[in-house]
Structure 1
Amino acid sequence: FTHQGIPYPVTMCTSETFQALDTFEARSDDIVLASYPKCGSNWLLHIVILSLENTINGWTKESPINFSYQECNFILSRFRMKQFSSPRILATHLHYDKLPGSIFENNAKILVLFRNPKDTAVSFFHFHNDVPDIPSYGSWDEFFRQFMKGQVSWGSYFDFAINWNKHIDDANVKFILYEDLKENLTSGVKQIAEFLGFSLTEEQIETISTRSTFQAMRAKSQETHGAVGRFLFRKGKIALVSGISSEVGDWKNLFRETQSQAMDEKFQECLAG
């Protein structure tokens, strides 16, 4: 269904959920994790949870980390969220201006994760076609056309990017690149901890990094994510839009040259500089 011009999956979101978000009461110590789908949100969530494990005195594996995907109706409950102890983790795929106003009024810290749109699109395509109970696409070309028009779940990657890019210099917002985490995970974990005010030793940071590699997360995906784990951790490879050498991802296996050029042009049009 469509809400404020953006399509959402009916299997996960409802209009009632968005109405509830309007009155959601954020706290100043809430941690917001924002990303477009398939940009590594589960990876970022994993890192933050491990950081909390090493930060909160008395926290054990049996203790619940209080986490909610903001716009997903099967998890979100205003009344249940009120009972959660702090800090709460609020993950979301929403645009900046679609988040509850109380998040900004209470100056909650926001981590925003971005990924090369080409790899994002390929990962999203495979996710749609692999996971049961969500719509599939007949071909990559069909999905690419819909992706470029923003007619996929959670709308346009580029609109999401433009909306968040306006707040790149906000004091309570930190932008993280999937590719940077891939290149130097230890440095990324350290930056995340510092932004969130976590006091972690170098040894703890190294341990978190080791436990947050793609291989380590995939090995435990059935335990942490159940049946959907094998779909969330499919390959974990990346490629960059330009310039920096890195591990090549799936996009070159699916993109036609004309499609690659079209996305480059769209990226420059929306996010030049």
Structure 2
Amino acid sequence: MAVQLISKFDAAINAATDLSDEELLVSCDGMTYPSTFTSLETLQALESFEARSDDLMVVGYAKSGTNWVVDILKGLAHTVSLSHTEESAEFPYLEFGDPKKYERMKKLPSPRVYVTYRYYSLLPKSVFKNKTKMLVLFRNPKDTAVSLFHFTNKLPSLPSFSSWDEFFPAFMSGKVGCCPYFDFAIDWNKHIDDENVMLITYEELKENMAVGVKRIAKFFGLSVTAEDIHSIVEKGTFQTMKEDSRNKLGAFGDMLFRKGTVGDWTNYFSEAQNQEMDAKFEECLGGTKLGAKLKYDVYCKK
């Protein structure tokens, strides 16, 4: 299965070689995606996706640590189902693939693990009908921006930027792959107290991964032992994930992981850029539950 998945990623990357910046992107419902990984037909077919009540679903903004959390969930899935000893040949990203993907996913054993980058209002209706639980992941906006900048310039399927100073205004205005970070945050802040939603941050997972994994397992109703938690944490180190990603995803895996640290933004942001994002954060998330959870003063102030 890993070979098939690597082949899909390689094909999507190679297909971008001769495309213009405009051709590299496909937009749908206010969100932007790499056109060589998905299509308008796929995004329209996504509404037909049949979510299950026992799916292990992650929601997150691009480069917020979703690949890390997907690996954590796969580890948890393996503890409750031996059918997860092999990787699925499907893209782990719900929006990526061909329009027939959602029919094939019906045959995958439970619990299925996948990630979506969509707004709450754009999720398939079956998510709400079947009360699928959603683990919503956020990372502080400054580190998210820096990580997305490097990823964008590594992945041929996305338009590149000549410098950080060129990328920053594009990020702030939402003219990057995915959607505007703060629009995404405002949207999900409205729902983080919903019964089937759990909010977790990249930073708290970095601070104490074992506690985070326990919280995640409890949220999804998965019975795991202390030994299971220890094993997942051991396999969740940055270096281990980077090596595993290369084996499972090929060239794309190499593009996913760079530093994995907290606070790298201090090496990029100018004082003017700091002030602009600080003001934007206060405008959009000041006084909100998500804003407090992100600990902006701790992680985004020098």
Do the two structures share a fold, i.e. TM-score over 0.5? yes
What residue is the counterpart of 2:12 in the other structure? none
Q: Does the CA contact (< 8 Å) of 1:69 and 1:76 recur in 2?
A: no
Q: Does the CA contact (< 8 Å) of 2:42 and 2:99 recur in 1?
A: no
Over 3 Å counting, the alpha-carbon distance change for 1:141 and 1:147 in structure 2 is same
233, 252, 273: which one aligns with 1:228: 252
Over 3 Å counting, the alpha-carbon distance change for 1:121 and 1:60 in structure 2 is closer
Letter in 2 for 1:21: L
2:56 paired with 1:42: no
Q: Deviations over 1:207-266 (max 9, x none)?
A: 111111112212333212211222211111112xxxxxxxxxx21111111101111111
180, 186, 203: which one aligns with 2:227: 203
Over 3 Å counting, the alpha-carbon distance change for 1:224 and 1:22 in structure 2 is same
What residue is the counterpart of 2:54 in the other structure? 29
Q: Deviations over 1:57-89 (max 9, x none)?
A: x34633649774221134861220121122222
What residue is the counterpart of 1:131 in the other structure? 155
What residue is the counterpart of 1:244 in the other structure? none
Structure 1 residue 161: Cα displacement: 0.7
2:186 paired with 1:172: no
Structure 1 alignment gaps of length 5 or more: 240-249
Letter in 2 for 1:271: L
Letter in 1 for 2:59: A
Q: Does the CA contact (< 8 Å) of 1:65 and 1:88 recur in 2?
A: no
Structure 1 residue 269: Cα displacement: 0.6
What residue is the counterpart of 1:94 in the other structure? 118
Q: Distance in 2 between matches of 1:256 and 1:83?
A: 50
Over 3 Å counting, the alpha-carbon distance change for 1:159 and 1:76 in structure 2 is farther
2:236 paired with 1:212: yes
Letter in 2 for 1:171: E
Q: Distance in 2 between matches of 1:132 and 1:153?
A: 12
2:79 paired with 1:54: yes
Letter in 2 for 1:84: L
3-state SS of paired residue (1:25):
coil
Q: Distance in 2 between matches of 1:23 and 1:162?
A: 26
TM-score by length of 1: 0.90
3-state SS of paired residue (1:73):
coil
Q: Does the CA contact (< 8 Å) of 2:72 and 2:232 recur in 1?
A: yes
Structure 2 alignment gaps of length 5 or more: 1-25, 288-302
Query: Mean Cα displacement is larger for which, 174-183 or 60-69?
Result: 60-69
Higher helix share: 2
Over 3 Å counting, the alpha-carbon distance change for 1:109 and 1:49 in structure 2 is same
Over 3 Å counting, the alpha-carbon distance change for 1:64 and 1:151 in structure 2 is closer
Q: Distance in 2 between matches of 1:206 and 1:263?
A: 37
260, 263, 271: which one aligns with 1:257: 271
Q: Percent identity?
A: 50
Q: Does the CA contact (< 8 Å) of 2:90 and 2:97 recur in 1?
A: no
Q: Deviations over 1:107-148 (max 9, x none)?
A: 001001100110000000000112233211111111101100
What residue is the counterpart of 1:19 in the other structure? 44
Over 3 Å counting, the alpha-carbon distance change for 1:44 and 1:266 in structure 2 is same
Q: Distance in 1 between matches of 2:261 and 2:198?
A: 23
Q: Deviations over 1:12-67 (max 9, x none)?
A: 232111211122222211221110000001000000001111122x3463364977
3-state SS of paired residue (1:210):
helix
What are the within-5 Å matches in structure 2 for residues 102-141 of structure 1? Answer: 102-141=126-165
Q: Does the CA contact (< 8 Å) of 2:61 and 2:138 recur in 1?
A: yes
Q: Does the CA contact (< 8 Å) of 1:67 and 1:88 recur in 2?
A: no
What residue is the counterpart of 1:266 in the other structure? 280
Letter in 2 for 1:254: Y
What residue is the counterpart of 1:242 in the other structure? none
3-state SS of paired residue (2:62):
coil
TM-score by length of 2: 0.82
Q: Distance in 1 between matches of 2:177 and 2:160?
A: 12
Work out the number of aligned pairs and report it. Answer: 262
Q: Distance in 2 between matches of 1:85 and 1:55?
A: 12
